[in-house]
């Protein structure tokens, strides 16, 4: 049974999430999961390209998965800030499916053979977010989370959205914001003159 989002007590605090830049596993459609794979040249370019957009707003802290593809993305996208590494933001362990084509994933909710259950991953991701957002103060700036597509899918579930869905874009920031007892999210920079972070308290 998949636990509903209200089971996890997600902190009602706005934050920005960004997936790491492209890797060769992404490019070739292979499941990386817990396996360490670096950014490729395109991924490094994507991370650097995110820097001017992110520089438009003040940031109080950057948190990242300790896996090198996420850590390196955070360093390139947020020069001058040192990311705090949280093990709870690591990608899902896909067990026997790691190294296999992404097309072999039937649904994100099923537990892969010898892999990590979705409920367990959501619990650790939620706990990591509680740490990252514990000292939130809008006057000090915003909080950026840099991690993986699997973490984004957990966050979608934790905020009441479907975990299954379209591919999560590389090095693309998304704002999550609580509004009147529910969550909304949108891609930053998706529309010219769009500045959703101005009102994210």
- Residue ranges per structural domain of the chain: 5-199
For residue 192, pLDDT beyond 50 = no
**Residue 6: pLDDT band by 50, 70, 90 thresholds?**
confident
Q: How far apart are CA 96 and CA 109, in angstroms?
A: 16
pLDDT in the model for residue 138: 75
pLDDT in the model for residue 5: 81
**Residue 199: pLDDT band by 50, 70, 90 thresholds?**
low
**Residue 198: pLDDT band by 50, 70, 90 thresholds?**
low
- Residue 87: Cβ within 10 Å count: 10
Whether the CB-CB separation of 15 and 129 falls below 8 Å is answered with yes
pLDDT in the model for residue 60: 96
**What are phi and psi for residue 73, nearest 5 degrees?**
-60, -45
Q: What percentage of the chain reaches a pLDDT higher than 90?
A: 82
Pick from 197, 187, 119: which is nearest to 158 by CA? 119
Residue 110 annotated as binding site: no
For residue 43, pLDDT beyond 60 = yes
Residue 71 annotated as binding site: no
Residue 92 annotated as binding site: no
pLDDT in the model for residue 197: 58
For residue 193, pLDDT beyond 90 = no
**Residues annotated as catalytic (active site), given as ranges:** 20, 91
For residue 191, pLDDT beyond 70 = no
Give the bridge partners for 85, in sequence order: 64
Domain spanning 5-199, CATH class: alpha beta
> Which residue has 């920005």 as its token pair?
16
Residue 19 annotated as binding site: yes
Residue 22 annotated as binding site: yes
pLDDT in the model for residue 4: 85
pLDDT single digits (tens) 69-108: 999 999 999 999 999 999 999 999 999 999 999 999 878 8
- Mean pLDDT of all residues in 5-20: 92
3-state secondary structure of 146: strand
pLDDT single digits (tens) 125-170: 999 999 999 988 878 899 999 999 999 999 999 999 999 988 999 9
For residue 196, pLDDT beyond 60 = no
Whether the CB-CB separation of 105 and 97 falls below 8 Å is answered with yes
Residue 80 annotated as binding site: no
**Residue 194: pLDDT band by 50, 70, 90 thresholds?**
low
């Amino acid at each position: 049974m998949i636990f509903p989002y209200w089971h996890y007590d997600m902190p009602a605090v706005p934050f920005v999430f960004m997936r790491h830049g492209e890797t060769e596993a992404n490019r070739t459609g292979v499941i990386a999961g817990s396996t360490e794979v670096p950014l490729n040249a395109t991924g490094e370019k994507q991370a650097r390209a995110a820097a001017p957009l992110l520089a438009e707003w003040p940031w109080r802290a950057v948190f990242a998965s300790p896996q090198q593809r996420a850590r390196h993305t955070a360093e390139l996208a947020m020069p001058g800030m040192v990311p705090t590494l949280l093990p709870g933001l690591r990608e899902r362990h896909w067990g026997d499916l790691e190294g296999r084509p992404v097309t072999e994933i039937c649904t994100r909710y099923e537990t892969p053979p010898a892999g990590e259950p979705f409920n367990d991953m959501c619990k650790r991701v939620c706990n990591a977010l509680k740490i990252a957002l514990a000292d939130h103060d809008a006057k000090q700036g915003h909080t950026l989370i840099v991690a993986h597509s699997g973490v984004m899918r957990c966050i979608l579930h934790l905020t009441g959205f479907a975990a299954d869905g379209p591919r999560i874009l590389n090095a693309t920031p998304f704002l999550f914001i609580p509004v009147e007892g529910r969550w909304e999210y949108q891609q930053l920079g998706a529309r010219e003159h769009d500045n959703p972070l101005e009102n994210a308290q």
